[in-house]
Structure 1
């Protein structure tokens, strides 16, 4: 694709962030400022000039590029052989023209505006496939991948180098030179591209002349007004209006017309030795319109967007006095997402700082916050295992950042210590916070977990006294709460999940009256004091014993008692008011002398009825009967036995 259409790819830029802890104090001195970010796999793209993509004056020749270094033809005036697509020179010497060599590719603009590796045939055709001319160009670019260095978009600074060789070919090879290992340096929008040139000297006036040249480092391009962005940069190197001083006997620079100018002095001086100097500055000829530089592009690959890291903290509410140690588990801190820019981890995964302290509303390095916006009293630095010793080991707070992006940290929280240190009123929020280490800036590493503080309360104790009862009468539990400070608040009484209410303390005491219906047996309660703003909660377990209730009874006859006649007899078993009536059976034994009759009756609504047949009453006979009444009792009531007498006529 064209330079304008080529997709821009991201580059994160950063602000330095300092640590504030004794163990890592050496890493914390730098104030917040624009900082370079390490970059790699950066691409260099440049086609130099239209002249370098044009038809040449010698019949059938043209200017172009080759990846790598062409072989030495051993003599002047040689051109690349079209018969074998540049594999040899016209004199049979090996040439080895290639479109790709290592990190270098010669790309050609296609008909649709995209760019692709050129072909031999493409060297002499325009993007539309027609033959090139002095006004129709082949539009090739030298592309070098895998550049490394640093970029600071905020400061318009860049420093990037590439490894690779390419050949700039004029007149199909009658004149050529090599360019090796270009380097870009930009400072505040002004910069250079330097490289090592080498090759052979030729002479248009002596076509057989051919001399090997010593390598020399030259300025390939000077750059002005460079806008270094997060995507790299696009700039047209200086040419127009640049003056060049030709050597004695050389062609003087023409400084008239709209396209007069020159490449950098050191570059053109080397071209004097190559034999093609006048193609790199305005010399007054018809070709001057093709000599100005065309745009140079540096493309930084997109940095993958990191997923937001996260932490879990074992406790987020801690006492406001004393020290509390908490465990912090981190996940998602991909080591590859934060490259350090400061020693000792410059150029390596910078890891993550894990700190307890106070921060301002704006504290994140990715948002430009200065180091003063976050103050801590406890910090760990999570780095790869191989770098823990480099940063001072565990004694200096070093912990392992595992390759999967997880870590485990332990921090001591001390409110008094942080309050004494973080005195700036802008520091308002207590918490555990994380951010990228060693000067790296990575928004995905930035997390904040608030920490709250609870007042230390006075201890309390609960004591109880009980009033045992019986079924149908009310027992009670009295609760007393004691502390070395005034006690207020409330107490709740429960038996298992059943609540018997909540009562406010008065003078540190309260009493619960238990219901009459509480069943006989032992009942274990829990009396819980809820605590107050100044007193801690506490509880006790009182035990109340409920006895079975006693019963009374009344007897009466439903018929006259006569021997030989049927007799009706009723016993009313009397329980406790307001609770369940007695149930069960009553045994009634009628005795006269040695004679007896036994009758059983089931209590129904508190009444048991029995009767004697005439035969039974006749058997007992006339005289005094003794009546024994026995209630067997139940779960709520005791058994009872009594006697009565009656005279049968």
Structure 2
């Protein structure tokens, strides 16, 4: 398997806002691969504590999660927790591992008009124009995103906020040769707006050096995103989670920070990277040396 090194597997923008609120997309919009996390909750006064119901989480992880791959066609997202394929192999329509929706979880992609549509196995490797995504381009992406409805929780200005979602999604690279799942995400913030988005990670261990390796990964809690200084105002907040300047765990393959790569140098959270060491996807979640400024962090919803 040839690794497509992803220096720009990058930081995320997160938005919490009243239900039905409209947000301005960044210049790349959906084509940026869903790099923003978007959380929508029912409208209420930010000065008073409240119970949150039916919150929505929308996320595309990073540009690599919807890009072309040098083997297997492309990388893509799937609803639900995928079962055991029995080895590092490419998924087919007939095997039933891919799902566009399951329970409260669905996968959406933008069409040529910029409208979100339910994804399918047939279009999982196509961009918004209907053309196949290319592994040779850092800007070629399907723009697929996971959407999870039904989040419940609480908000208290003196204590912070917590929202829990029930459901799983699967991140599939190289057409199915390596994949992992995130289940039951939880957003936790303290009164200062600092916190995390966590989930239970599971999947199957493999390696580019030894693709015959295929072992179940014991479920564990992983931090999907670290948040700092989220400001509650008018029932919502916008923030870019930590990535730029974040040092990955030792022996993760992160290159040394320099003046040349400082604009995009960073890493996903430590527990997330440690988990990816087992899945075989480490290089897609931290800076590995490739100039990928097209996937550098962009602020959301200003």
Question: Do the two structures share a fold, i.e. TM-score over 0.5?
Answer: yes
Supply the distance in 2 between the matched residues of 1:284 and 1:37 (Cα, whole angstroms). 45
TM-score between both structures, scaled by the size of structure 2: 0.78
**Which residue pairs with 1:284 in the alignment?**
289
Supply the distance in 2 between the matched residues of 1:201 and 1:75 (Cα, whole angstroms). 10
**Which residue pairs with 2:10 in the alignment?**
none
Q: Relative contact order (alpha carbons < 8 A, sep ≥ 6): 1 or 2 greater?
A: 2
Contact 1:49 1:292 in 2 (8 A): no
Q: 1:122 to 1:38 in 2, by over 3 A?
A: same
**Which residue pairs with 1:269 in the alignment?**
274
Q: CA deviation at 1:285?
A: 2.9
User: Among 37, 43, 46, which residue is 2:56 paired with?
Assistant: 43
Q: 1:253 to 1:285 in 2, by over 3 A?
A: same
User: When the two structures are aligned, how many residues end up with a matched partner?
Assistant: 262
**Which residue pairs with 2:257 in the alignment?**
255
Q: 1:294 to 1:109 in 2, by over 3 A?
A: farther
User: Among 189, 196, 212, which residue is 1:192 paired with?
Assistant: 196
Q: CA deviation at 1:295?
A: 7.3
Supply the distance in 1 between the matched residues of 2:58 and 2:159 (Cα, whole angstroms). 19
Contact 2:41 2:56 in 1 (8 A): no
Supply the distance in 2 between the matched residues of 1:132 and 1:47 (Cα, whole angstroms). 16
1:132-147 → structure 2 map (5 Å cutoff): 132-133=133-134, 134=137, 135-147=139-151
**Which residue pairs with 1:206 in the alignment?**
210
Q: Unpaired segments of 5 or more residues in structure 1?
A: 15-33, 89-94, 298-649
1:248-647 → structure 2 map (5 Å cutoff): 250-256=252-258, 257=261, 258-286=263-291, 288-289=292-293
**Which residue pairs with 2:118 in the alignment?**
117
**Which residue pairs with 1:131 in the alignment?**
132
Q: CA deviation at 1:7?
A: 12
Task: Report SS of the residue matched to 2:171.
Answer: strand
Task: Indicate whether 1:244 and 2:248 are aligned.
Answer: yes
Q: CA deviation at 1:252?
A: 3.7
Contact 1:51 1:290 in 2 (8 A): no
Q: CA deviation at 1:9?
A: 6.6
Q: 1:157 to 1:175 in 2, by over 3 A?
A: same
* CA deviation string 1:265-299 (max 9, x = no partner): 0000000011111111001135x5466567789xx
Supply the distance in 2 between the matched residues of 1:295 and 1:211 (Cα, whole angstroms). 38
Q: 1:278 to 1:192 in 2, by over 3 A?
A: same
Q: CA deviation at 1:121?
A: 2.9
Q: 1:149 to 1:9 in 2, by over 3 A?
A: closer
Supply the distance in 1 between the matched residues of 2:56 and 2:39 (Cα, whole angstroms). 12
Tell me how large the CA RMSD over aligned residues is. 2.7
Contact 2:195 2:228 in 1 (8 A): yes
Contact 2:162 2:187 in 1 (8 A): yes
Q: 1:43 to 1:178 in 2, by over 3 A?
A: same
1:66-105 → structure 2 map (5 Å cutoff): 66-76=78-88, 78-81=89-92, 85=93, 87-88=94-95, 95-105=96-106
Task: Report SS of the residue matched to 2:275.
Answer: helix
Supply the distance in 2 between the matched residues of 1:296 and 1:178 (Cα, whole angstroms). 26
Task: Indicate whether 1:57 and 2:70 are aligned.
Answer: yes
Supply the distance in 1 between the matched residues of 2:271 and 2:249 (Cα, whole angstroms). 10
Contact 2:39 2:56 in 1 (8 A): no
Larger-gyration structure (1/2): 1
Contact 1:80 1:172 in 2 (8 A): yes
Contact 1:158 1:228 in 2 (8 A): no
Contact 1:167 1:178 in 2 (8 A): yes
Q: 1:7 to 1:51 in 2, by over 3 A?
A: closer
TM-score between both structures, scaled by the size of structure 1: 0.38
Contact 2:42 2:53 in 1 (8 A): no
Supply the distance in 2 between the matched residues of 1:43 and 1:186 (Cα, whole angstroms). 16
**Which residue pairs with 1:176 in the alignment?**
179
